[in-house]
Structure 1
Amino acid sequence: MTDWLTATILALGGVAAVVGIVLLVRDEPAQDRTFVVLAVLEVAVLVQLVVGAVSLSQTDRDVSGVLFVSYLVGNLLVLPIGAFWSLAERTRAGTGVLIVAVVTVVALQLRLETIWDGSGA
C-alpha cells in the first residue's frame, strides 16, 4: 500500500478529531465545515479502498484477502454512519459520536497497515 495515502488519512483524521474535540468542549453540535472535513476524509478512505483492492490483486505477499477487504469496506462505512447519527442527534452527544467515528477510522487504518505487512493476519 502507499505510505502517502496512509499518512494523508491519519493527518485528516487528526484534524477531524481536533475539530470535534473543540466543538465538544464548546458544547456545540457539528457544523457544515465539520462535515466538509469529514467528507474529505471519506474521499481519502474511498481512494484507499480502490488502491488497496488493486494492490491486493497485484501482490504476491502473504495477506489475508478477506480480512484486508473487510477492513477496507468497514473503514469506508464508519464515517457515514457516524455523520448520520450526529445529524440525528444535534447535541453534544452527536459531536462525541463523530469523534468516536474519526478515531475508529484512524484505528482501522493502522490495523490495515499491520494486515498488509503480514504481521496481523
Structure 2
Amino acid sequence: MVRVIAVAVAVAALLLAAWVFLLAWRSRPIGRAVLAGAGVVEALILAQVIGAIALVARGERADEPLTFVLYLIASVVALPLGAWWAVGERSRSGTAVLGVAALVVAVMVQRLQQTWS
C-alpha cells in the first residue's frame, strides 16, 4: 500500500468524523460543505484503490489477499452509503451515521495497511 495515501485517507476521514459528530451534537443536518468534505475523502479512497491496483500490477501482493480486497471494496462503499443515509434522514441520528461511516473508513484503512504488510 502507498503509505502516504493511507495516512491522508485516515486523517481526512477522522477530521470528517469529528466535523460530522459536532454537527450531530448540535442537532444540525449535514450540508453541502460536509458532502464536499466526504467527496474529498472518497477521492482519496479512490486514489488508494488506484495505488493498490498499480502495486498488484507490479507484482506485489497482500499477505491476506481476500481480506485486503474485501476491505478495499468496503472502504469505497462505506462513505457514500453513510452520506446517502444522512441526506435521506435529516435528523441527529442521520447525521451521526455519516460520522460512523467516516470512522469505519479510518479503521478499514488501518486494517488495509495491516493486511498488506
What RMSD in Å do the two structures reach over aligned CA positions? Answer: 1.3
Q: Which residue of 1 aligns with 2:81?
A: 81
Superposition deviation, residue 66 in structure 1: 2.3
Superposition deviation, residue 41 in structure 1: 0.1
C-alpha separation in 2, matches of 1:112 and 1:76? 12
- The answer to whether the 8 Å contact 2:62/2:68 transfers is no
| Unmatched 5+ stretches in structure 1 | none
Q: Percent identity?
A: 27
C-alpha separation in 1, matches of 2:31 and 2:41? 16
Matched, 1:93 2:93: yes
Output one character per residue of 1:80-111: Cα deviation in whole Å (capped at 9) or x when no partner.
11111111100001111001100000010000
Amino acid at match of 1:25: W
Q: Which residue of 2 aligns with 1:45?
A: 45
TM-score (norm 2): 0.93
- The answer to whether the 8 Å contact 1:68/1:116 transfers is yes
Give the secondary-structure state (helix, strand or coil) at the position aligned to 2:30: coil
Give the secondary-structure state (helix, strand or coil) at the position aligned to 2:21: helix
Q: Which residue of 2 aligns with 1:112?
A: 112
Amino acid at match of 1:64: E
Q: Which residue of 1 aligns with 2:23?
A: 23
- Indicate the structure whose relative CO is greater, using CA pairs within 8 Å and at least 6 residues apart: 2
C-alpha separation in 1, matches of 2:28 and 2:74? 28
TM-score (norm 1): 0.90
Matched residues, number: 117
Matched, 1:69 2:69: yes
Q: Which residue of 2 aligns with 1:5?
A: 5
